[in-house]
Every structure is written in C-alpha cells, then in structure tokens.
Amino acid sequence: MSEATDRAKVHQAYRFALEPTPAQERALRSHAGASRFAWNWGLARCRERYEAEGKWYSGIDLHKLWNAEKKADPALAWWSENSKCAYQEAFRDLDRALRDFVKSRSGQRKGKRLGFPRFKKRGKSRDSFRFSVGPMRCAGSTVTLPKVGTVTTHESTRKLARRLEAGTARILSSTVSRVAQRWFVSFTVEVDRAVSGHVRAGTAIGVDLGVRTLLTGVDDAGNVVAIGGPKPLRVALRKLRRASRAHSRKAEGSANRRNASAQLARIHARVANVRADALHKATTDLAKRYATVVAEDLNVTGMVRNRSLARAIVDQGFGEARRMLGYKTTWNGGQLIVADRWFPSSKTCSACGAAKAKLSLSERVFCCESCGHREDRDVNAARNLLKLAASGAESLNACGGHVRPGGAGQRLLKQEPGTAHAGETGTAAPQGAAAEAA
C-alpha cells in the first residue's frame, strides 16, 4: 500500500472471436475432432486399466502409447493433419479429470461429487482444444495459430499485440472453442505489469454479491454503493427467459428445437457478455478506491447444479466477480479478504450481532427479532462483511498468502489469473478495455 510502483507477473486471459475462412474453419473442426478422439481413445484405455488394476495412464504415458499406435495403425493416418497439441492436451485434460474424480471420491475435493470421466459425443460435447507449443501470435486484427494459420479476428487484438511487441507479455497457451456456431480463441498470457499502490491506506468496503443487484457495498465512511444490473442486461435477461420458454415448447429432436437451441445459446452468450462487462466496470472502480475489499466466499462448484438458466448465469457471475476483485485489488496495491463460506453475513444483524436461524431468498428486508433493526438485506450483509476488515486487518499480510486469523472467519485471497475478455458477440463494448484500464 505504498506509493512505490512495483512490477508483477500475472496470468491474464485474452479472448477473441474468430472469423475463419472455410478452409480454416475445417482445420478448427478437425482439431476439435482430433481432441475429442484422443480423449475417447485415452479414456477407453484408462477405463480398462482402472477396472483391472485401479490405476490409469498418466498424460505422458498416453502420449507415448498414442505415438506408437498412430504409426502402426493405418486407420489413424489422419493424425498428422492436426497439431500434436490437440492430442497431447486432451491426454493431459483426461489425466486431470481422472485425478479430480479420485480426489472427489475420497473427499479431498470440495463441491459436487464427480463421476468417472465420460466419453465425448460429437455434437453433444463442447468443441474445444488447446495449443501449448508452436507459433502463437497476434497482430492488429489477426491471430496466428499452429496448423491453422493466420485467422482474422472479429475485434482488434492491438492491445495484446502491443504488449507482445514490447516484450511485457508472453503467450503460454491458446484454447480454441466453439460457442453457438462461433469460434473463439482464448490466450493465457503471462503479463508483466505495474502494480501501483495508489489506493488510500485504511479504506475498506464490504461487498455483497447479489441476485437482484449486481453488487451492494458499504464502506468505512458509511457510504452505500449499490450497482444494479445495467439496462442492456435486464433486456437480455428478458429475451433469455422468452427464448428459454420457446425452446422448451419445441418438440424434442425437431428442426425447430435445434433452431431454438441455437437462438438460446446466442442470447445466453450475450447475457454473459453484458454481465461480465458490467462486473468489470464495477470491480475496477472498487479496486481503485479501496485498500481492502471484503467479499463472501461462495460455493461455486456446489451452485452450478442449479437448473435455471438465468440463475446459472448469476452463479457464474459470483465466481467471476470475486476473481476480478482478487486480481484488481492486487494491481492497485490493495487486498481482497474473502469471508469464510460459513460466515453468516446475510443472517446476522449488523446492528446487534444477533443471528437468525433462517432467512429465505425472497425476504428482501432484514428484520432483527432482537433489536428491531430493519435494513435492506444486501446492505445488512455488506455491513457485516465490512466488520471483518476491521476485525483482523493487522493480522493479514499484503502479498497474498493464505492467512487464517483465529476464529475471525476470513482469509486473504490467493492470486488468481485475471481475465480480460475481448467481447463475445461484438455488439457489446470490448471488455478488454474495462479490465485493461484497471
């Protein structure tokens, strides 16, 4: 929190929508197919071994097996059309999925219980693959990928290109995926950036991430900051509900159903985009103004089970907002304190400290049975979170280790990679701008 400017290496994602030529699109599809094939090929071998010996093949072992078989089996002669990364990275993902499965079963992994990895079906599973080596560049309005070549992007890549040119960024890997008929590339980039310490020391804000409002905060001066969903988000959400209803009315397997699915996916992408943009603006602002931001920890893996589409987006937004606050506070020389998942921020009275046994999501106003305090539920929750900043601030270090002060129910967020989206649909303002401005 000093005035001095330090430099730090952070991981950041840059995502661009692609405008491939028909030949390039074929190459993208081919890689996605190769990646899916490799996953299924590896899974068949791992499953067999797992059933017999309780072990599987590591990503490296699978790669060795694959290298031997692809040359021996003429039916696999097409392998050389794709970058070796398509196979290698699928094997790595499979290895990770198997490790997660075992950890989840033994209780070492929190959240929803994971089943044994499944085979990927064409058209059912998400088209995606990753490059970790080979030429990965971008310039102006293009990106260059191994085997695929130089592809035009929907939006400008200048910001990243400039960083690459100046030597302050390095592309570590690129993930290509298809969302609703549109291809995207997401570069994971190591960025060397200035961490400026211009936030005012001692300032703090408690932040409640909401369902109705995007974010509600109460700061140490008593100001209430409420950021509701922007109008474009409300409009997009309304469209999403309509499309979702239309989709469910169409007969299973019909052409109408397929069209409705595509439409739904497009609106879904748009909503997520608009929401991420609003979150970027809000979190950038908070991280610039406050030395300490306190937010709740959320059981994001546990929440994804939720069926409703709109609700799923909100859940996604919780994780995103927390992650954004994490890296943006670091960039600005501040810190993020994450309240323990079990900290009852919404059920506790911010005036007298009495805790309620139950508080349903529909109760928008908190009414205390002990002292009669009445307040908007989100504001009450934010006040409780703010108290955490004052209670244990000295015992936290500023560089981001895990700290558990005795019983205070909080920890400092570990540094997580930042994300600067570059806009998903092209109709919203480029989100990279919001993140980059931080």
Residue 371 interacts with Zn ion (CB under 5 A)? yes
**String of DSSP letters for 328-364:** HHHHTT-EEEEE-TT--TTTB-TTT--B-S---TT--
Q: Which residues pair with 182 in a beta bridge?
A: 179
Choice from 136, 189, 368, 408 touching Zn ion (CB under 5 A): 368
| Active-site residue (options: 93, 127, 296, 375) | 296
- Start-end of H helices in 78-218: 84-105, 158-166
d(CA 152, CA 185): 11
Closest separation in Å from C-beta 383 to Zn ion: 11
Three-class secondary structure assignment of 23-37: HHHHHHHHHHHHHHH
- Between 133 and 371, name the residue whose CB sits nearer to Zn ion: 371
Q: Which H/E stretch holds residue 327?
A: helix 309-331
Q: Which two tokens stand for residue 206?
A: 């408690």
Residue 370 interacts with Zn ion (CB under 5 A)? yes
| Active-site residue (options: 95, 277, 378, 424) | 378
Q: Which two tokens stand for residue 349?
A: 């009275």
Q: What is the DSSP letter of 267?
A: H
Residue 257 interacts with Zn ion (CB under 5 A)? no
Closest separation in Å from C-beta 367 to Zn ion: 9
- Comparing CA positions, the residue from 246, 233, 237 lying closest to residue 276 is 233
- Between 182 and 373, name the residue whose CB sits nearer to Zn ion: 373
Stretch that binds Zn ion, among 75-83, 238-246, 371-379, 389-397 (CB under 5 A): 371-379
| Active-site residue (options: 155, 208, 277, 436) | 208
Polymer length of the chain: 438
Span 338-357, contacts to Zn ion by CB under 5 A: 349, 351-352, 354
Does residue 208 have an active-site annotation?
Answer: yes
Long-range contacts of residues 47-52, Cβ cutoff 8 Å, at least 24 apart: 47/116, 50/98, 50/116
Q: Do 426 and 154 contact (CB within 8 A), yes or no?
A: yes
Q: Do 90 and 282 contact (CB within 8 A), yes or no?
A: no
Choice from 29, 99, 356, 373 touching Zn ion (CB under 5 A): 373
- Comparing CA positions, the residue from 343, 315, 351, 347 lying closest to residue 409 is 343
Residue 172 interacts with Zn ion (CB under 5 A)? no
Stretch that binds Zn ion, among 17-25, 47-55, 324-332, 361-369 (CB under 5 A): 361-369
- Between 370 and 395, name the residue whose CB sits nearer to Zn ion: 370
Does residue 89 have an active-site annotation?
Answer: no
Closest separation in Å from C-beta 353 to Zn ion: 7
- Between 194 and 371, name the residue whose CB sits nearer to Zn ion: 371
Closest separation in Å from C-beta 391 to Zn ion: 18
Q: What is the DSSP letter of 120?
A: P
Span 75-114, contacts to Zn ion by CB under 5 A: none
Q: How many residues bind Zn ion (CB under 5 A)?
A: 8
- Between 308 and 370, name the residue whose CB sits nearer to Zn ion: 370
Q: What sign has the CA pseudo-torsion 294, 435, 417, 318?
A: positive
Closest separation in Å from C-beta 380 to Zn ion: 10
- Comparing CA positions, the residue from 105, 102, 101, 62 lying closest to residue 84 is 62
Closest separation in Å from C-beta 423 to Zn ion: 46
- Between 352 and 390, name the residue whose CB sits nearer to Zn ion: 352
d(CA 36, CA 30): 10
- Between 201 and 371, name the residue whose CB sits nearer to Zn ion: 371
Closest separation in Å from C-beta 421 to Zn ion: 42
Does residue 296 have an active-site annotation?
Answer: yes
Residue 437 interacts with Zn ion (CB under 5 A)? no
**Residues annotated as part of the active site:** 208, 296, 378
Binding residues (CB under 5 A) for Zn ion: these are 349, 351-352, 354, 368, 370-371, 373
